[in-house]
């Protein structure tokens, strides 16, 4: 149990003495940049990069152990009680796990009140493996009404399927796009970030949408070696996926939302209602959906849509509205773009083909050589279809395939027919259950507008 150390007293055996963990957070704002001063004592110190050799994340972000967020606009007018939220959103899950006491000079009232619901979301996900104790003790609590009220939602935008689906779904409300540098593209990948930023800005300009960015060290000021060990012991995969992803991202939007009077912040769902019930992911509706700050609510967007539903909507709605979409799903490519031969690229471009569209229309430069590479990987087992491929396979099985023109499609269907190793997906994909697409998300979303 975190927060406790063991000692032995001669003749009396082993005893446990509680050692308190304290985290004190201050901040300074210099025009576009918020820098957090974090003082840590007690066992929770191991969770932070303090007097330690930097890990891989520290290396790719320039060996800077401090936590800062640098926006592309002046945030000096943002109240300190709002400006503290990016730090608290990333630190409170740590404090809860370690039973730590967090002190700050000032905090937004809506954010403070929402934390109990967020904590309950984590507790429900990790019970009984972890207890979520700890507390936030502010010097004062400030109510921050929005200085103005805008009608556009802010949507986290990475160019991936989940984010693009959310943008396409909200396009009628002129969403404000928000992209973070430091989440999965890092500071040492400056050229890749520049290409990504240009692509996102072009997409925003072409569709007359607002666009903001933030450069942040929120993934390099923590020690993931200690934190991910906790996540794995509790049945998860990593601290990032199981505890930080979601709330840690959402906190960054608080200053932007206050400045622009944004009443709704949208983050695309990573999973869906059809995911296994024991999934451990911090970006979950029972966690994200409880977060609040100032006059802003959080929408965990469309937990009822599977990935293939999202691809279906992106393909059809973008063509219907004349929106050029360039998906970016690949993290293996050294440059900005899609390699087209990794598992995620292959799964996504095949999902597009299953909908009757060409991958080249959506940012995939699928050459004949790359199609053959995918085919070889499928036949050799280097790419092994899992539950996530099932909707793609079901759709492709109903389409005539020219093996010479689409060898990767033929290889996928051949491997499935010969081995039948792909498990049935839960819920909608089991025999006798719902269809692959119970409702047309495009029509549903169109009707909602």
> Residue 311 phi/psi, 5° resolution?
-60, -45
Q: What is the pLDDT of residue 60?
A: 52
Q: What is the pLDDT of residue 225?
A: 93
pTM over 0.75: yes
Q: What is the pLDDT of residue 412?
A: 95
Q: What is the pLDDT of residue 364?
A: 97
Q: What is the pLDDT of residue 294?
A: 94
Q: Give the C-alpha separation, 105 to 28, whole Å.
A: 12
Q: What is the pLDDT of residue 55?
A: 55
Q: What is the pLDDT of residue 445?
A: 34
Question: What digits encode the pLDDT tens for the residues 325-351?
Answer: 999 999 788 888 999 999 999 999 999
Q: How far is CA 395 from CA 93, 160, 389, 417, in A?
A: 41, 22, 10, 14
Q: What is the pLDDT of residue 53?
A: 57
Residues of the chain with pLDDT under 70: 1-19, 51-64, 418-449
Asked whether 148 and 258 are in contact (CB, 8 A), the reply is: no
Three-state SS annotation for the chain? CCCEEEEEECCCEEEEEECCCEEEEEEEEECCEEEEEEEEECHHHHHECCCCCCCHHHHHCCCCCCEEEEECCCCCCCCHHHHCHHHHHHHHHHHHHHCCEEEEEEEEHHHHHHHHHHHHHHHHHHCCCCCCCCEEEEEEEECCCCCCCECCCEEECCCCHHHHHHHHHCHHHCCEEEEEECCCCCCCCHHHHHHHHHHHHHHHHHCCCCEEEEEECCCCCECHHHHHHHHHHCCCCCHHHHHHCCHHHHHHHHHHHHHHCECEEEEECCCCCCCCCCCCCCCCHHHHCCCEECCEEEEEECCCCCHHHHHHHHHHHHHHHCCCCCCCCCCCCCCCCCCCCCHHHHHHHHHHHHCCCCHHHHCCCCCHHHHHHHHHHHHHCCCCCCHHHHHHHHHHCCCCCCCCCCHHHHHHHHHHHHHCCCCCCCHHHCCCCCCCCCCCHHHHHHHHC
Q: What is the pLDDT of residue 64?
A: 63
Cis peptide before 92 (omega within 30 of 0): no
Q: How far is CA 367 from CA 113, 178, 374, 420, in A?
A: 53, 32, 11, 28
């Amino acid at each position: 149990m975190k927060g406790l150390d063991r000692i032995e007293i001669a003749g009396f055996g082993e005893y446990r003495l509680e050692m308190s963990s304290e985290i004190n957070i201050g901040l300074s704002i210099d025009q576009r940049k918020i820098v957090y001063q974090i003082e840590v004592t007690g066992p929770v110190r191991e969770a932070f990069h303090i007097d330690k050799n930097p890990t891989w994340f520290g290396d790719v972000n320039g060996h800077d152990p401090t936590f800062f967020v640098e926006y592309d606009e002046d945030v000096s007018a943002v109240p300190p009680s709002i400006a503290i939220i990016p730090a608290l959103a990333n630190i409170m899950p740590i404090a809860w796990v370690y039973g730590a006491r967090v002190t700050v000079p000032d905090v937004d009232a809506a954010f403070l009140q929402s934390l109990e619901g967020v904590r309950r979301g984590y507790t429900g996900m990790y019970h009984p493996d972890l207890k979520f104790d700890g507390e936030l003790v502010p010097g004062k609590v400030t109510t921050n009404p929005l200085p103005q009220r805008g009608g556009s939602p802010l949507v986290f935008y990475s160019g991936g399927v989940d984010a693009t689906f959310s943008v396409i779904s909200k396009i009628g409300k002129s969403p404000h796009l928000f992209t973070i540098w430091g989440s999965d593209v890092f500071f040492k990948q400056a050229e890749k970030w520049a290409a990504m930023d240009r692509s996102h800005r072009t997409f925003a300009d072409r569709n007359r949408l607002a666009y903001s960015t933030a450069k942040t060290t929120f993934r390099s000021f923590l020690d993931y070696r200690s934190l991910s060990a906790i996540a794995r012991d509790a049945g998860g995969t990593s601290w990032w996926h199981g505890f930080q992803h979601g709330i840690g991202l959402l906190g960054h939007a608080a200053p932007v939302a206050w400045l622009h009077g944004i009443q709704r912040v949208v983050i695309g769902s990573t999973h869906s209602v059809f995911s296994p019930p024991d999934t451990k992911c911090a970006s979950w509706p029972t966690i994200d959906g409880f977060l609040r700050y100032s006059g802003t609510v959080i929408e965990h967007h469309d937990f009822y849509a599977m990935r293939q539903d999202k691809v279906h909507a992106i393909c059809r709605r973008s063509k219907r509205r004349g929106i050029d979409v360039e998906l970016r799903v690949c993290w293996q490519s050294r440059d900005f773009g899609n390699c087209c031969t990794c598992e995620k690229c292959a799964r996504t471009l095949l999902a597009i083909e299953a909908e009757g569209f060409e991958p080249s229309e959506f940012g995939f430069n699928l050459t004949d050589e790359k199609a053959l590479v995918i085919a070889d990987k499928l036949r050799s087992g280097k790419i092994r279809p899992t539950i996530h491929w099932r909707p793609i396979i079901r759709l492709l099985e109903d389409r005539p395939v020219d093996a010479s023109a689409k060898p990767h499609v033929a290889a996928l269907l051949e491997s499935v027919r010969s081995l039948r190793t792909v498990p049935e997906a839960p819920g909608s994909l089991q025999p006798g259950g719902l269809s692959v697409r119970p409702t047309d998300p495009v029509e549903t979303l169109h009707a909602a507008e």
